[in-house]
Structure 1
Amino acid sequence: METEKKRFKKGIAFGVLVGIAWGLDGVLMGKVGQAELFTDKAYALSKGLSELSFDFSPLVTAFFHESFCFMWVALYLLCRKQLKAVFHLLFKTKKGRAAAIAALVGSPIGMSAYLLAINYATAPYASSIAVTYPGVGAILSYLILKEKLNYKSAIGIGISLFGSFMLGFNPSAGVPDTFFKGILFAIVAVFGWALEGVIIGYAMKHIKGEDDVVAEPQQFLCLRYFVSMIAYSVVILPVIGGYPMAQEVVSSGMVFKYAGIAILGAITYLSWYKAVDLVGAAMGTALNSTAALWVLVFSALLFGQTITLNLAIWGIIIVAGVFIFALGPLTEKNK
């Protein structure tokens, strides 16, 4: 019994760490995104950068974030002698290739939209809406994969989505002029991450003949970051003309900031997988949603950002809705 208690406490600790790390990641990415290179068009053009790369500068920052996340997770797996298995998954298994397709939806689309949302609507608003993606994923799984959705989970989804609606379309005074643009990108991020889960769920359910494929969640995570890095470097940056800006990020020294922030990104997912292993996916998902509240805390403590009553109330309601959604099936099972 004591062992189970220790596992539970350890799992809760990892779950709390997920929220803290992801919340701080979003706040710091938003702060670095306020650099003159990304906010002053005249300055950017004086550096020989194009207007297109300036307008889509968050995609350049996403490239650095995802690339360094891959580097840190790969280094972790290398130390555990598991890195080779990542490429075996990708090139030798159907499940690995399905995970790669899901990564294209979840990272270049979801992550890019999330950073654009932070850029246009600020991190507290972007994060508060983004954490609703598990609920949206459950709805899509119900519609596409015909998975069951109990009434408690449905109520939780309804609460979180209502909170997101009120937060997104009833903003506090003093929000940026680009606020609604940012909210739209936050919604895109939600659907990107939700569809990523649906694709993975479909693949694992329908791919036959690979029951002997054994892989750690960390290996799938590394595969995700690898595919994301390749997509940004081969497709997205060339399309937006982003390499000159990326070069400026390196020469200015900002690249080291992204390397440091990416450690938080890697910690987020590695801790989430550990939390899920110890306390289950329901509690892990619920604790993950607290990132929205940690964004509020770090924004206020580190950068003095004013947290309005409107933002705080609806942010708490959104997180409460995610908790109800995630823990609904668990409470029914225990009952």
Structure 2
Amino acid sequence: MQNIIKNTTVNEAAVIAKRKLSAQFFKKGITIALFSGLMYGFYSAFLTLGMTKGVWGDWTGVNSAGLSAFVITYLLGALGSAVNDVCSAVWAVIYAIIKGKFGDFLRCINTTPGRVMMLAALIGGPIASTAYVIGLQMAGSIVIPITALCPAIGAILGRILFKQELNKRMILGIAICVCASFMIGSTGITGDAPKGMLLGICIAFIAALGWGFEGCVAGYGTSMIDSEIGITIRQATAGLSNLIIFIPILGMIAGGVNISAGLVAQAFTSGSAMIWFAASGLCAFISFMTWYKGNSMCGAALGMACNGTYSFWGPFCCWILLGVIFGIDGWSLPPIAWGAAVLMIVGILVIAMNPLDLFRKKEVR
């Protein structure tokens, strides 16, 4: 009888200990996923700062270095995205070498999941990332909450392409996100809106669409390979494809491949700018890495919602770094935009999960 009581006590203690460890693991996952949103905000700020330094200042200055409006608006946007992605890929490869996973990275490239990750990178790199940078340059940090529509778009595309669930709660979350985007967009049609803001906001929707589609495709790839290897494949593919495919195409549209080749050479040799691109690339890599890690610890749905807080952190980091520290004009946001950013986070959370589940989990534990 005493042995039975003793075993029961031990089992209960083991269950309690397991629940405690699970709760700590879950909370740590939420913290990591939230950190990914913060790092995405710093990535946006450092990238934008880099595109004002060194040779970039000459290209976008008063004289524009003799560049056409097409080159300044679109080719330089693609170039900024490419430089950042290449720097991020370098950081990812260095991390893979340190972790002893570089050989696995090379082996996974020529596998089905690896090719899926490469496809996702082609969608999210040359297309979505370039649209994001162009929108950021044209309209400022106000486009960041717009791009945070990608989880809502991903949910819709998941329903269309993969017949995934789209219930009433998720539809409500999508409606909240759309309302928030309209609130943000309304600031671009006022009489005192900067020139090009409305177009920049529209271009930001392309980024949201591309990242939403990328999320659907990448979900398959990362379910079959190590997330750290998947991120390395993604970043390397995005950087190289942007640099050797997309930019030359834009160069030909602008008048010749020599134009893009010359700009690429100048960009990578501009030391005062590359310091900030190295910082933005590091932040981008950390953001992706912690996002995937957070998803694996607290669940993809809640991880996606936590990462979506970049709709707030992006404008905040840009305002602090560019507006406050470096004194660059145009990085303050109207109150409606801040409110819409918070509303967007609420919408993303509703899409990802039932918010009441957070309290239910606390009760179980």
TM-score over 0.5 for the pair: yes
CA contact (8 A) 1:41 1:51 kept: no
- Which residue identity is paired with 1:328? N
Provide Cα deviations, 1:95-144, integer angstroms capped at 9, x if missing partner.
22122112111111111111111011102x11111111011111011122
| 1:143-292 equivalences in 2 (<5 Å) | 143-171=160-188, 174-200=192-218, 215-239=225-249, 240=251, 241-253=259-271, 254-292=273-311
Number of the residue aligned with 2:61: 40
C-alpha spacing 1:42/1:265, structure 2 compared with 1 (3 Å): same
Which SS does the other structure have where 1:328 is aligned? coil
Provide Cα deviations, 1:243-289, integer angstroms capped at 9, x if missing partner.
32222223331122201211100110111111112111122111111
Number of the residue aligned with 2:256: none
Gaps of 5+ in 1: 206-212
- Which residue identity is paired with 2:36? V
Which SS does the other structure have where 1:148 is aligned? coil
Aligned residue pair count: 322
C-alpha spacing 1:299/1:135, structure 2 compared with 1 (3 Å): same
Deviation at 1:85, TM superposition (A): 1.7
- Which residue identity is paired with 2:315? L
In 1: Cα distance, 2:72 partner to 2:131 partner: 15
Number of the residue aligned with 1:208: none
C-alpha spacing 1:102/1:120, structure 2 compared with 1 (3 Å): same
Number of the residue aligned with 2:122: 104
**Which one of the candidate residues 96, 113, 131 is aligned to 1:77?**
96
In 2: Cα distance, 1:51 partner to 1:60 partner: 15
CA contact (8 A) 1:134 1:194 kept: yes
Gaps of 5+ in 2: 1-18, 252-258, 325-330
- Which residue identity is paired with 2:207? A
- Which residue identity is paired with 2:184? L
Question: Of the two, which has the highest radius of gyration?
Answer: 2
- Which residue identity is paired with 2:178? L
Which SS does the other structure have where 1:81 is aligned? coil
Which SS does the other structure have where 2:63 is aligned? helix
Runs of 4+ in 1 over 6 A off after TM superposition: none
Give the aligned CA root-mean-square deviation in angstroms. Answer: 2.4
| 1:46-65 equivalences in 2 (<5 Å) | 52-55=70-73, 56-65=75-84
Percent identity between matched residues is 23
CA contact (8 A) 1:150 1:328 kept: no
TM-score (norm 2): 0.81
Provide Cα deviations, 1:188-225, integer angstroms capped at 9, x if missing partner.
00111111123345x669xxxxxxx9520111111111
In 2: Cα distance, 1:296 partner to 1:3 partner: 35
TM-score (norm 1): 0.88
Number of the residue aligned with 1:131: 148
Which SS does the other structure have where 1:242 is aligned? helix
CA contact (8 A) 2:153 2:208 kept: yes
Deviation at 1:52, TM superposition (A): 4.5
C-alpha spacing 1:41/1:95, structure 2 compared with 1 (3 Å): farther
